[in-house]
Amino acid sequence: MLMERALRRLSVGQRVGLIIALLLAPLATLSAVSVAVLNQQEMAFRDSVEESLHTLLPLTALEQLLDRALVDELEAQSHESVPDFASLTENIDHSFTTVEMAGSSPDLLLDRLTAAQHAWAQAKPSVQHLIEQVTRASAGDDLAAAELSRKELQEAIRDVRDAREHLAAAVRARYERAAAMRHRQLHWLLFGWAGTLLAAALMISVVLRSILRPIRELGSSARRFAAGDMSARLQVRGRDELSTLAEQFNAMAIYWEQTHREVLAEATEDALTGLPNRRRILALLSSELETHRDNQRPVAVLMIDLNDFKAINDGFGHAAGDDALVWVTRRMRECLRQGDHLGRLGGDEFLAVLPDTTQAQAHELASHMTALVAAAAARETARPTIGVGIAGAPEHGRQPGTLLAQADVELYASKQRTKAGRGDDLAQRRRAEPGTQKPH
């Protein structure tokens, strides 16, 4: 997480460059190291082959010549060409000197080298004696030639063979150890490749995660936002292009959330009274009726109309009419219970939806609301009274249109009764006035 936060301070382009560097730098370094190691191993192998040839060839040649002398009984006595034993002896001494100079090398078995030197030390006097005898034989010394015996040749051959075998074992052990070391170098080189590539892969995965994670989060938030979740937001973690994009997305989401809230309010809320508008209150009525059908709980509706509202508008102006609508809304809300819904159908018409309310309870609530509004209107100027029509489910049906039609009928009847009552009161007041009665 800390590494990712640190990487988010770099731009996306810089992180892509870092990925390329993490890929190329290890490959270039490992390739150079591999080439150097392989070249070193090739040179070491070539040196080992040359060393083996130069070290063992003189002893091998001497052994073959002694074998031939043993078979041919020193053809040098017949004055044929005599092998150059002295030169071979010098070459063998030089080979041992060369090997001794590398004696401190850890890949050389000192016991094998010591055994080879000891065998050569035993063979060398016999060879030198043989050289002297051959020399005398070549000079015509028949007595010296007669002293040359098969037994001395066999002893010289055996000593030379022992020296060659021990020296060959020492050289072979040195070569095997060098080969094992080269194998270890190759193994470590392979481990180095694997470890370096693994570390590079981990670093690349972290860098890619710092790029891909905010992109995935952006995609997820965009899908949530498109599905209607206006609360979708992105967490801003760095200063790169993706962080800027996240900030812009959050700003856009906030703007659209506010716009959606305003549009939704305009679509479902009455701007003047703050009540649900006609569409919203009818949707609430449908929802409550669906609940009623599921659990068979009663639902009542109150169709409410303002009395003498036109007179307020005509006598005091439309501003006073708007103020009267707001005032009567507050009075009606005071009479409703928690869970009841009150909405404005339009003009001076209102609808109250009362869940879990019987007809008797609805009549009681309507009487209380009518009386409270009438009492408050009597104390103020330009305040209307209300008329209420009541309908309920299941008594008057279970469809919104049916209930609204029944409530409208009840409202009309209520207003007619109110007008008739006002007319009777006016007639009684006129009959009670002096001079209005007919003389008998």
**Domain containing residue 419: CATH number:** 3.30.70.270
Confidence of residue 300 (pLDDT cuts 50, 70, 90): very high
Could you read off the pLDDT of 108-127 as tens digits, one per residue? 556 666 766 666 676 667 66
Domain identity same for 133 and 21: yes
- The reply to whether 261 falls in a domain is no
Dig out the tokens for 45 from the structure: 């192998």
Q: Which of 154, 186, 207 is the last residue of a domain?
A: 207
Domain identity same for 415 and 287: yes
Give the C-alpha separation, 109 to 171, whole Å: 8
Q: In which domain, by residue range, is 408 found?
A: 278-430
Give the C-alpha separation, 255 to 162, whole Å: 99
Domain identity same for 22 and 161: yes
Residue bearing the bigger pLDDT, 127 or 302: 302
Confidence of residue 94 (pLDDT cuts 50, 70, 90): low
User: Taking 50 as the threshold, does the pLDDT of residue 227 lie above it?
Assistant: yes
Domain identity same for 187 and 303: no
Q: Which of 157, 173, 207 is the last residue of a domain?
A: 207
Q: Is the pTM of this model over 0.85?
A: no
Give the C-alpha separation, 44 to 434, whole Å: 146
- The reply to whether 203 falls in a domain is yes
Domain identity same for 299 and 193: no
- The reply to whether 368 falls in a domain is yes
Segment 349-358 shows an average pLDDT of 94
- The reply to whether 41 falls in a domain is yes
State the amino acid at position 254 in one-letter form: I
Residue bearing the bigger pLDDT, 47 or 202: 202
73: left (phi over 0), alpha (psi -120 to 50) or beta: left
Q: How many domains does the chain have?
A: 2
- The reply to whether 255 falls in a domain is no
Least confident residue range of 81-90, 186-195, 376-385:
81-90
Share the mean pLDDT of the chain. 77
- The reply to whether 287 falls in a domain is yes
Residue bearing the bigger pLDDT, 313 or 185: 313
Segment 323-334 shows an average pLDDT of 94
Segment 236-264 shows an average pLDDT of 82
Domain identity same for 199 and 287: no
Confidence of residue 234 (pLDDT cuts 50, 70, 90): confident
- The reply to whether 226 falls in a domain is no
Cα torsion through 153, 154, 156, 161, rounded to 10 = 140
Dig out the tokens for 34 from the structure: 């591999």
User: Taking 70 as the threshold, does the pLDDT of residue 140 lie above it?
Assistant: no
User: Taking 50 as the threshold, does the pLDDT of residue 146 lie above it?
Assistant: no
Domain identity same for 125 and 24: yes
- In the chain, pLDDT over 90 holds for what percent of residues? 26
| Nearest partner of 59 among 173, 178, 172, 158, judged by Cα | 158
Domain identity same for 293 and 375: yes
Domain identity same for 152 and 9: yes
Domain identity same for 127 and 15: yes
Residue bearing the bigger pLDDT, 164 or 306: 306
Q: Which of 207, 237, 266 is the last residue of a domain?
A: 207
Could you read off the pLDDT of 156-195 as tens digits, one per residue? 777 777 777 777 777 777 677 777 777 887 888 788 878 8
pLDDT at 77: 46
Domain identity same for 197 and 288: no
Segment 343-362 shows an average pLDDT of 93
Domain identity same for 182 and 297: no
pLDDT at 239: 75
pLDDT at 333: 94
User: Taking 60 as the threshold, does the pLDDT of residue 435 lie above it?
Assistant: no
Segment 10-26 shows an average pLDDT of 75
- The reply to whether 140 falls in a domain is yes
User: Taking 50 as the threshold, does the pLDDT of residue 393 lie above it?
Assistant: yes
Segment 195-214 shows an average pLDDT of 79
